[in-house]
Homo-oligomer: A and B are copies of this chain.
Amino acid sequence: MTFPVVGMIGGGQLARMTHEAGIPLGIRFKLLSDTPQDSAAQVVNEVVIGDHRDLETLRAFARGCDVITFDHEHVPTEHLRALEADGIPVRPGPDALVHAQDKGVMRAKLTEIGVACPRHRLVAGPADVAAFAEEGDGFPVVLKTVRGGYDGKGVWVIKGADDPAVAEPFKAGVDVLAEEKVDFVRELAANVVRSPHGQAVAYPVVESRQVAGVCDTVIAPAPDLGHDLALQAERMALTIAKELGVVGHLAVELFQTRDGRILVNELAMRPHNSGHWSMDGAVTSQFANHVRAVLDLPLGDPRPRQPWTVMVNVLGGDYPDMYPAYLHCMARDPQLKIHMYGKDVKPGRKVGHVNTYGDDLDDVLERATHAAHYLRGTITE
């Protein structure tokens, strides 16, 4: 058998769901996980426990893998270059991945290739921040550490020159990026998948609703998005994938501004929360297409199977055990799709998501929202 072995670095839910998508393809999965309790480590047969920041651990893990891919962006770029030098295909490769690891590198590159971004500049301290504000529309200004942030962490909104928070980002010892606070009407995401031989597919552009900086609800496709804007967003994502040499799934988080423009917020080079709807809503899920891309297999059809799909994240709430809630949720909605990650419940932690689909957006949205809130314990009927 020449069925390949995919080496997945990181044991989170993205690895778990990628494994799930790889099973029907007969692909062997090997996982490098921090602990045996990690989300993916519970459901994969071949699990290596080790530190993804240690090059020798990575090298030992990579032996016997035909290709390496990722659950997260935290492997040091120089280690990825070392693996490549050893002859292991790393997908996405370090030259692409650095744009998802470092927001400063990302902003510079997108600007270079003509993709619209918020106004931005690397800043060295509070004085730079004040100067950046003055050259634009003043405060508020957004500050981000260029590495290490996620789900609203590593991001500060500075209200004025005398805002004491302005000193915070500079304490982390990493570069800090200042950005205009975009006046957006909503957030969108354009998800595309690209293979080494250059084939690419685009999922429909989705609307992503955040609560407290964390993705809460995704609607596919984004309601009332004009054809021109949708096409512009898809082209933007396909251009980024090509120009940055991305292999695998690329999520481009976007702002739709009040004055009708589309600006890039963040990039992720792996399956992404804004693509979870595709597991039940698209012909080929983002996870299946990520696997196909990293193996350089022809990509699957990304189109939706019905007019509307809604995903709502299940966040940890007050109840440590969500299983009893299955009874009510499943009985209420026999079409509901539950995806739990096997993670311990902690307040605010993403522990699962639900998908619903159908012809009537109001109905689909109500069903997904109800189920997620019932699982969280914020409603009891």
Give A contacts to B, CB under 8 Å. 1-4, 16-17, 19-20, 23-26, 28-29, 41-45, 47, 279, 283-284, 292, 297-301, 305-306, 320-321, 323-324, 326-327, 330-331, 334-342, 344-345, 352
Contacts and interface: CB of A to CB of B under 8 A. Distances in A.
Contacts of A292: 330
Contact of A324 (B2, B299, B323): B2
Nearest to A24: B339
A22 to B, nearest CB: 9
A28 B42 contact: yes
A341 B299 contact: no
A23 B28 contact: no
Contact of A45 (B43, B298, B300, B320): B43
A327 B42 contact: no
Given A283-B335, A330-B292, A23 B29 contact: no
Given A16-B23, A23-B43, A330 B1 contact: no
21 contacts: A1-B344, A2-B324, A3-B321, A3-B342, A19-B23, A20-B23, A20-B24, A24-B337, A24-B339, A25-B326, A25-B338, A29-B43, A42-B45, A43-B45, A45-B47, A292-B330, A298-B327, A298-B330, A300-B330, A300-B334, A305-B305
Contacts of A1: 320-321, 323, 344-345
B323 A4 contact: yes
Given A26-B342, A44-B45, 11 more contacts: A1-B344, A19-B23, A20-B24, A23-B43, A24-B337, A24-B340, A25-B340, A298-B326, A298-B330, A299-B334, A301-B334
* Chain A contact surface mostly: loop
A374 B354 CA distance: 37
A174 B26 CA distance: 37
Which of A44, A300, A320 is packed against the most chain B CB atoms within 10 Å?
A300
Which of A29, A327, A334 has the most chain B CB atoms closer than 10 A to its own CB?
A334
Contacts of A327: 297-298
A1 B37 CA distance: 13
A301 B337 CA distance: 11
A2 B335 CA distance: 24
Choose among A43, A297, A321, A327 the residue with the greatest number of B CB atoms under 10 Å from its CB.
A43
A297 B326 contact: yes
Nearest to A326: B297
A32 B23 CA distance: 19
A364 to B, nearest CB: 13
Contacts of A3: 321, 323, 340, 342
A305 B358 CA distance: 10
A51 to B, nearest CB: 21
A328 B148 CA distance: 41
Contact of A341 (B26, B44, B326, B344): B26
A216 to B, nearest CB: 20
